[in-house]
């Protein structure tokens, strides 16, 4: 059965390609930046891995986000097995959808206000206690995340015209959760299984991405280089295990929303409250951290691909 990888960032592909090659899996990697969909043409049986990222717009590929959103619905209607399909993609490209789903599931999230465009931001911010942060509804890599310690500072910033609009024109105001220690935690899950938890230092700001490739021509992303050298900002958090109640909730959440691959992030305040604020379904991994953990995310994804590629699929409209 065929295996197809939908992607838009070649810099993120080498670790996945290496894992798939190690598993002797044949696959077709398709660069996605828009396209043509003839709905009278059957796609054929196969497994599709969705690696489209909500940060695609930062590389000039926002059309890919729009196209893949529709393409996934079509493939699923035809009976194709999608790893991180339309349900998980809907959550990945909308933090509003994420928070609604997390809250409904009983997972604590920060107080958030969504505003279309920028004109209503200052007025809406009056409902939010300071300090607070801004972020994009369609985010990625922490872009658009800024901390404001007063409403006047925020009003001045908006007035200056320096605010960067979200690619979907939905901007968020969010309660700032001051961490008990200067780091956030990211829990990596593949195929309903806990891999490891990673802590990322926030001392240099919010724009954090653990992927090795984020250091390649990308000044926004404080990850180590592609050679996998150690970086003190990213460490395995050994006290978080598969038995942690929040990890168990994350796994159940992923099962409910058909999320095959996820990096879910939370911050813990001084009272021990843990607020979940981001779900990354195009999860990437840091080589040095994985060597420390002895667990390798792309190999887990390759194993999932191998298993699903052998499973029989029933196509609709044959």
Provide the CATH number for the domain around residue 192: 3.30.470.20
Say how many domains are in the chain: 3
Reported as a pLDDT band with limits 50, 70 and 90, residue 208 is: very low
Specify whether 35 is located in the same domain as 138. no
Which secondary-structure segment (H or E) carries 187? strand 183-190
Residue 74: strand, helix, or coil: helix
Specify whether 57 is located in the same domain as 140. no
Give the pTM.
Answer: 0.88
Beta bridge partners, 185, equal 199, 266
Could you tell me if residue 103 is inside a domain?
A: no
pLDDT of 222 higher than 50? no
pLDDT digits (tens, 9 = 90+) for 282-294: 999 999 999 999 9
pLDDT digits (tens, 9 = 90+) for 64-87: 999 999 999 999 999 999 999 999
Supply 109's token pair.
């999230």
In terms of residue numbers, what domain contains 239? 179-295
Provide the CATH number for the domain around residue 160: 3.30.1490.20
Specify whether 6 is located in the same domain as 51. yes
Supply 77's token pair.
């209607």
Supply 226's token pair.
């592609």
Closest CA to 169 of 120, 131, 221: 120
Specify whether 23 is located in the same domain as 122. no
Closest CA to 315 of 86, 47, 88, 50: 47
The structure tokens 């992923």 sit at 254
Buried b (16+ CB within 10 A) or exposed e, 76-92: bebbbbbbbbbbbbbbb
Provide the CATH number for the domain around residue 13: 3.40.50.20
Specify whether 198 is located in the same domain as 159. no
- ∠ Cα 68 73 77 (to 5°): 140
The C-alpha atoms of residue 116 and residue 118 are separated, in whole angstroms, by 7
First to last CA, the chain: 16
């Amino acid at each position: 059965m065929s295996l197809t990888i939908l992607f838009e960032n070649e810099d993120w592909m080498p670790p996945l390609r290496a894992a798939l090659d190690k598993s002797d899996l044949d696959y077709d990697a398709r660069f996605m930046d828009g396209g043509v969909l003839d709905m009278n043409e059957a796609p054929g049986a196969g497994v599709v891995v969705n690696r489209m990222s909500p940060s695609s717009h930062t590389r000039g590929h926002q059309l890919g986000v729009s196209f893949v959103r529709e393409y996934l619905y079509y493939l699923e209607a035809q009976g194709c097995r999608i790893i991180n399909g339309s349900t998980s993609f809907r959550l990945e490209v909308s933090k509003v959808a994420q928070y609604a789903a997390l809250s409904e599931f009983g997972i604590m999230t920060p107080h958030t206000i969504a505003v279309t465009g920028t004109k209503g931001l200052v007025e809406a911010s009056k409902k939010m206690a300071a300090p607070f942060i801004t972020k994009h509804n369609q985010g990625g890599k922490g872009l658009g995340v800024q901390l404001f310690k007063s409403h006047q500072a925020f009003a001045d910033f908006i007035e200056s015209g320096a605010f960067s609009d979200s690619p979907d024109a939905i901007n968020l105001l969010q309660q700032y959760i001051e961490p008990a220690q200067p780091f956030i935690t990211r829990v990596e899950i593949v195929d309903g299984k806990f891999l490891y938890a990673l802590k990322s230092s926030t001392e240099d700001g919010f724009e954090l991405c653990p992927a090795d490739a984020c250091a390649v021509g990308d000044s926004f992303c404080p990850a180590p280089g592609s050679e996998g050298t150690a970086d003190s900002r990213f460490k395995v958090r050994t006290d978080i295990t598969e038995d942690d109640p929040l990890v168990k909730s994350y796994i159940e959440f992923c099962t409910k929303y058909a999320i095959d691959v996820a990096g879910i992030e939370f911050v813990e305040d001084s009272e021990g409250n843990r607020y979940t604020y981001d779900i990354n379904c195009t999860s990437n991994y840091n080589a040095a951290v994985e060597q420390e953990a002895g667990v390798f995310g792309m190999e887990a994804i390759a194993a999932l691909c191998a298993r699903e590629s052998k499973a029989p699929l029933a196509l609709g409209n044959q």
